[in-house]
Structure 1
Amino acid sequence: MSKVEQLLEKNKAKFQESITHPLTNELCDGTLPDYKLYTFLVQDLQYFHIALRIMGKALSLCTNGDSLVVLGKQVALLAGRENDYFDITMGILKETSLKELQENIPLLLTDSPVRLLQVKSYIQFMEKLIDNVTCYAEIITYIYVMEKVYLGWAQYNSEKLKSQQIKLAYKHQEWIDLHSGEEFETWVEFLANEIERASTECSPEQWARCNAIFAETVQLEINFFEGCYNFKG
């Protein structure tokens, strides 16, 4: 069993919970209320820039030239198409569902939207990684989990979408497309291979931290979905 397979097996139940949350299930079948989607986007955007810094940390610790190029290309994708999705979709929701947003989440429509406790905790975790991690395997383990969860919920819902022939609006379909398909699958596979490669250079203590980072990241993702799904205010 590979190192990545070991990590997934140890956290099997929690990982399954992270990819089958009602928020992502409803997003994928087009039934997620607009105010919940807007909540998710506002909160996700609050640590979007920190995620870019995480990628920068990975670049600074990576010593393999080919891997550096792949990581750099992914940073460009995040800063481009994914960043554009936030601006476009939040604009659409404000235009088409403003009354719904005002009734349910007025605290998210201000110039300084409230930050959920779950997001605060996640951001603190990410900032600790940026400030303290000196091992490439640890930072790449975090990135892998984050991306594997998003690929996971897209794959979990893909067969249902195909069988029901659901036609989704941009606000749903583009987010799914950003986290599915051959290109994204290749990216996640690259991250898994990086864990395998980098783990051979880890001390037992560093690999133990990789295990802890994996487990904590999965739980933070669950908490994030849960907080966004249930927020009103």
Structure 2
Amino acid sequence: MSEQRFSDWLREQCEPGWTAVVTHPFATAITTGEAADDDMRRYLEQDFQFVDSFTALLGAAVASADSFEARVPYGRFLGQVATTEEKTYFHRALEALGGRTDAPLEPVTASFRQLMDQARVSQDYPLIVAVLCVAEWTYLGWASRAAEPLPERFVHREWIELHEGPEFRAWVGFLRGELDRLGAALDGEGRRRVLETFGQAVELERRFFDMALG
């Protein structure tokens, strides 16, 4: 029997929270195009507040990774976040929904940004990967549940498309692979610290979706 992947072990340790995120009623409503405008606006206003902290966390991953081969995917994705369709999506979607890019932080948004900033400042590569992996893997989890045809309205359809597809799956696969590789070298205390951070991120993802429903 093959040894269990560290990333799978982390996910299993975070049940039922993990499943609560990827099957959350709000996430499901996005996949079906039924997310209410007010909920979608509130959600995207808050999600936009992560862009700076998330970008800084990617930069910390570049700096703290233990090999050139590991640094390259972070640098590539960092460029995509800063310059490609995700950034333009926020502005187009918030304009369509009557939202704003400078919305006051909800408590859960502040808590999630604090977790990202703590991981960044720590320069502890496994903890940085843990936060990034939860953020991306949970989104692939709910977005991959969307059935064809995708919703017609771009605020739903494009958000799904940004978190599904071969490139995004490869990115999540890289993050999981890094966790698996790093986990093999961690002692019991190191694994406990990664699990604690991973679990905090999962719980914040669940609370963030709860917030969207008001």
TM norm structure 2:
0.92
* Matching residue of 2:191: 207
Determine the C-alpha separation between the residues in 2 that align with 1:59 and 1:128. 16
Greater Rg, structure 1 or structure 2?
Answer: 1
> Could you report, residue by residue, the CA deviation over 1:50-109 in whole angstroms, capped at 9, with x for unpaired residues?
000111111111121122111111111111221111011111223xxxxxxxxxxxxx65
Q: Which amino acid aligns with 2:86?
A: E
> Could you report, residue by residue, the CA deviation over 1:126-148 in whole angstroms, capped at 9, with x for unpaired residues?
222122x2321121111111101
Q: Name the SS of the counterpart of 1:12 in structure 2.
A: coil
Large movers: runs of 4+ above 3 Å: none
Aligned pairs for 1:35-184 within 5 A: 35-79=38-82, 80-94=84-98, 112-131=102-121, 133-156=122-145, 158=146, 161-162=147-148, 165-184=149-168
**Distance change (3 Å), C-alpha of 1:134 and 1:27:** same
Q: Which amino acid aligns with 2:201?
A: T
Determine the C-alpha separation between the residues in 1 that align with 2:187 and 2:55. 27
Q: Quick check: 2:62–2:72 contact (8 Å CA) kept in 1?
A: no
RMSD: 1.6
Number of aligned pairs?
Answer: 210
Residue 28 of structure 1 deviates from its aligned partner by 1.2
Q: In percent, how many aligned pairs have the same letter? A: 26
* Matching residue of 1:99: none
Q: Which amino acid aligns with 2:60?
A: K
> Could you report, residue by residue, the CA deviation over 1:34-62 in whole angstroms, capped at 9, with x for unpaired residues?
11111111101112110001111111111
Q: Which amino acid aligns with 1:57?
A: A
> Could you report, residue by residue, the CA deviation over 1:137-173 in whole angstroms, capped at 9, with x for unpaired residues?
12111111110110000122x2xx22xx454211111
Q: Quick check: 1:154–1:180 contact (8 Å CA) kept in 2?
A: yes
* Matching residue of 1:20: 23
Q: Quick check: 1:199–1:207 contact (8 Å CA) kept in 2?
A: yes
Instruction: Judging by fraction of residues, say which structure has more helix.
Output: 1
